[in-house]
Amino acid sequence: MTEKQATTAPLQNARIAVLGYGSQGRAHALNLKDSGLDVVVGLRPGGPSWSRAYVDGFAVAEPADAVRGADLVAVLTPDMTQPGIYKDAIEANIKPGATLLFAHGFNVHFGQITPRADIDVVLVAPKGPGALVRREYEIGRGVPCLFAVHQDATGHAAERARAYAAGIGGARAMLIETDFKEETETDLFGEQAVLCGGASELVIKSFETLVEAGYRPEIAYYEVMHELKLIVDLFYEGGIARMLEFISETAQYGDYTRGPRIVDAGTKERMKAVLTEIQDGTFAREWTAEYKAGLPNYKAFKQRDLEHPIEKVGAQLRARMPWLATNQPKPAAEEATKTS
């Protein structure tokens, strides 16, 4: 079966419980509902998400109540909250033969959640934030999705995963089959080595290098932070080849000769070490312990970044860019997937 052949038919008579109503949760729930599927949203009572889901037209219930009787339960809350939600709301309430679905394999792969043996366990992971998943669906397109089967108690786990992906629009674009291990480990590595950790540190260290050499912070900001979006957009549209097509020959020569001096064999070896820590569970154990301790290091790291000079000069410069206001993504607090 190709992605174009995947339909919502296997879920047409199913009750779907979506736990969480943050970035991904709201997008999934709305897309599923607009695809004609029966959706209930499971949330803690009293929070702003409860009201928002109700206004959006959903039946809303506490997580345990939403799970009871559901044929598919989609867990779309933050990673660190999921083991508690599974224990308190799902384990005793999900019916035999139902499907438990995740959008990231972290907790199942690293053993934080051990699902009951009498249920299907699958993964559907859109390769984009919730706002994009919703926007692409609304205009008749979709965001590519990874899907995987961890446990097939009924013999229908794969078709249910594909049906769910079709319901959120993924089958309009591309479905790529994987497994929980591959999705989890590559996702974490991409975040740490490039998309978040690597990119952030490259920008910060470049900014510091220019400022320490006597260049004005405003100029440094534009050169190493602001213009990065232009390059990333070219990567996104057509890969490295398109980026090279649209930059000057001078920039190309600098790319070819200086880039490998910045990100060299030593960098790759350190990337391998980071990947090993993901693969052997070191990162998962560290992050789980940090969360249980109340996030002391996380909070300190976050505050350090917020106080960095690049953030202060950036805020001043962005205030003079009125075009950003009409194009601004939602604040991280709104976009983060949360339960209330």
Q: How far apart are CA 179 and CA 184, in angstroms?
A: 9
41 C-beta neighbours (distance < 10 Å), count: 29
| Catalytic entry in 28, 104, 109, 150 | 104
280 belongs to an annotated ligand binding site: no
**Of 110, 111, 148, 113, which Cα lies nearest the Cα of 277?**
110
The answer for residues whose C-beta is within 8 angstroms of residue 248's C-beta and 6 or more apart is none
The answer for residues whose C-beta is within 8 angstroms of residue 134's C-beta and 6 or more apart is 26, 27, 30, 31
24 belongs to an annotated ligand binding site: yes
**Of 29, 99, 91, which Cα lies nearest the Cα of 71?**
99
Q: Is the dihedral of CA 107, 109, 112, 118 positive or negative?
A: positive
Q: How far apart are CA 46 and CA 27, in angstroms?
A: 21
35 belongs to an annotated ligand binding site: no
Q: How far apart are CA 199 and CA 73, in angstroms?
A: 35
C-alpha pair distances (Å), 97 with each of 70, 117, 120, 142, 224: 10, 9, 7, 29, 53
Q: Which ranges in the chain belong to alpha helices (H)?
A: 23-34, 48-55, 63-67, 82-85, 106-109, 130-138, 157-167, 180-189, 197-212, 217-221, 228-245, 249-262, 265-279, 282-292, 296-306, 309-318, 332-335
291 belongs to an annotated ligand binding site: no
130 belongs to an annotated ligand binding site: yes
56 belongs to an annotated ligand binding site: no
Q: How many residues are recorded in the chain? A: 340
Q: Is 28 a catalytic residue?
A: no
The helix (H) or strand (E) run that includes residue 41 is strand 38-42
187 belongs to an annotated ligand binding site: yes
118 belongs to an annotated ligand binding site: no
Q: Binding-site residues, please?
A: 21-24, 44, 49, 130, 187, 191, 223, 227, 248
Q: Binding-site residues for NADP(+), please?
A: 21-24, 44, 49, 130
Q: Looking at the annotation, which residues are catalytic?
A: 104
Q: Binding-site residues for Mg(2+), please?
A: 187, 191, 223, 227
Q: Binding-site residues for substrate, please?
A: 248
